[in-house]
Every structure is written in structure tokens, then in C-alpha cells.
Amino acid sequence: MKDFLIKPVLLIAVAASAISCALDIDSDEPSREARKKEISFPVNVTRDGEAIPQEALTKSEAVETGDKIATMDTSIPFGIVGVDFESGALILDNERVSYSDGLYRGFFENGLWEMPSVVSFSAYYPYVNSLDYGDEYKSYSIPFSSADTEAGPLVSKTVQSAVDKLNMIPLEFQHITNDIGFKICDVTTDPNLQGLIHLKKVTAHNIASAGIFVNDLEFGMGAWQRRGYYRNEEVFNGDAVVGVGMENEKFIGRNALVPHMVDSHRFYAVPDDLLMGKQYVEVEFDIDGFDIGGFHYEPLKNQKVKYMLYGVLPDNVMVYGKQYTFHLGLDTGKFFHQISFTASVSDWETKIYENNDDF
């Protein structure tokens, strides 16, 4: 009798389960993907601040700034963060935005966009897997690797907007690294020694190459926290005759000297404090042989000069988002100065000690 009562109960349970599954399959409830809303992102990239003309050099006349705009590789996504302006709640937690069919697009939960609220949006490029957030989500920290910084990472200005019925968020990205390049000329004053220099190699040493960028959502500003990762950047490797005088100064390319910045070899670096004896540019060159005053001077090979960056920039600080072109001057005369010797004749200095043990 006991067994007889149990069997009908089990049959009812199984039947109820089967009906439940059938209802789920035929339900009109939208899928997870259908509940998401597509947002498009028109993107613009700028360099923060106004361009400084070439003639407006710093007080040292060793560096200039100018315009160069980085581009975004559309095969690499960027990340976006959204924080509720009033409550401070994190609305978008490092969501990935990818490029397709001519637009950057993101798909976000529809419910997030149906509240009558103002949200502060901020984006960064390239995308990283994990972010850290500051107190009350007023800032976020992006750990950029050397590969990221060498490609020119970007961070957008903070955009505040109501999100209900929002389908588009325009973003303006800005540089957060430095764009660095070099110009060079022969500054030899003796006309007999001019035009003899062949540039062979240029290497920038101890370039800051990785770090954490902390972006402030409230004030739209950021700051770098360097990790102490540095690299050497080979700028030039070839054989090029160096022009004489500032009027013939040229940009340094990968294997040639070029008249225009756009054709030169420039690289991105994390802005750094310049320290005495740390960051420097090493230039290797040859000097042709020449005849002067009845004497023949043999060619000089593999000469090296180091240009220290300390003392070149105001306050020895590199400001992120700026472009720097350092001017290098080579002087052949320094390698062929005549050395004069003078001599005097006197008696040996005699010291008398009372105790010979002290001698």
C-alpha cells in the first residue's frame, strides 16, 4: 500500500517537470543577447594643448614641440567605464568596445540604460583585462605594458550624459605618453672641418616604457605611476652625411636624415622625471680624413658622443601628451684640437720629518 501511494506522486512530479521545460522552450521571453542594447561610439583623437611653433624653443634651445596625432588600430578594442554621477555607483565596469562596419560598437544590458540618471563615461585604448578603482569610483587605474606604451595609449575626456534613450556616446581621446624624435646638424665653425661627419647610429637610453595611468573621472585629469621599466630605443642605423649649420638641420629617420617630421623615426614613451646621468642619447659617427696646413689627418671611425637629457627641459619634467624634438649638434673641431704643453723646472720638493717612522 505504501509503495502504491509513492508511485503516483513521482509520476505527477515528473509530468510537472516536463511541462515546465516545454513552457521554457516556447516562452516569448527575450534571450540574454536580445536584452542587450547597442551603443555606437564616434571617436576623435587629439593632442592636448596647442601646438608650439618650431621657432618657440625652450630656454635651452635644445627641444621643440609640435603636432602629431596618433591613430587607433581598429583591430584592437578599447575599454569604457561608466559611473552614476549622483550615487557614484559603477554602471559600466571595463566594458569592451570593438570596431565593425565602420563604427565602434558596444552591447550593454538594456536595463542599465533605462534609468533617468546622468553617467560619467570615460574610455581608454588599448583594452586591458583588469582595472583598479579609486575611492567611490572617482578614478580608475590602467596597467599599461611596454607593448601598450610603445603603440601610443590614449584616454578619453570624461563625458557626462543622461543615459535613457541614449544610442551614441561621442569620445575624444588624448595622448597620455610622449612622442619623441630628434634633429641633427654639423655645428663645426672651422670651414676646413665642416661636412666630414657620417652619422652611423643613434640610440636613446633608459626610456621609461611601462606604468600605471590613473585617470580621474571627476576632474578629467590623469597621472602616471611608473613601474621602473626602461628600454633603449634605436632611432637610427645607417650612413648619412650630416648637414652643416642650423639651416641644414634635418630630422633623424630610421636609416636616413629627412627634411620633414612625418618621415622621421619617432617613438612613444612614458613621461619621466629626467635625472642627472640617467637618460641620454648616444650618437655614433665617422669623420672623413682631410688635409690641412700641409698635414694629412686620417679618418676617425666609430666615434661616440653622449647627450644628457637632464637640464634640457624646464624643471626636468616631461609632460604627458606632449611632443618633443631634441636638437643634436656635432662639432668636428672637438676631435682635432691641437694640444699645447707647458713645463717648468724646479728642485725636488724636500720634506723633513722629525720621526723617520712618519715618512
pLDDT score, position 202: 97
> 36-56+68-175 has which fold?
Immunoglobulin-like (2.60.40)
pLDDT score, position 117: 78
Nearest to residue 282, comparing CAs of 227, 226, 326, 251? 326
pLDDT score, position 68: 55
pLDDT score, position 255: 96
pLDDT score, position 20: 32
pLDDT score, position 348: 57
Domains 36-56+68-175 and 178-210+227-335 share a fold: yes
Neighbours of 199 (CB within 10 A): 24
Q: Which residues contact 68 (CB under 8 A, 6 or more apart)?
A: 47, 179, 261, 262, 266, 323
Boundaries of every domain in the chain: 36-56+68-175, 178-210+227-335
pLDDT score, position 335: 80
Nearest to residue 308, comparing CAs of 277, 283, 330, 285? 277
Nearest to residue 212, comparing CAs of 271, 300, 254? 271
Q: Which residues contact 356 (CB under 8 A, 6 or more apart)?
A: none
Q: Which residues pair with 82 in a beta bridge?
A: 92, 121
Using an 8 Å Cβ cutoff, are 232 and 155 in contact? no
Task: List the chain pLDDT tens, one digit each, 359 residues.
Answer: 434 333 322 222 222 233 233 334 444 444 545 567 778 887 877 665 433 333 433 334 455 555 556 678 899 999 999 888 888 888 889 999 999 888 898 887 766 666 667 888 999 999 999 999 998 899 999 999 999 998 889 999 898 887 766 778 889 898 899 999 999 999 999 898 999 999 999 999 999 999 999 999 887 789 999 878 999 999 999 999 999 999 999 999 999 999 988 889 999 999 998 999 999 999 999 999 988 888 888 899 999 999 999 988 888 988 888 888 899 999 998 887 554 455 556 555 544 444 445 43
CATH architecture of 178-210+227-335: Sandwich (2.60)
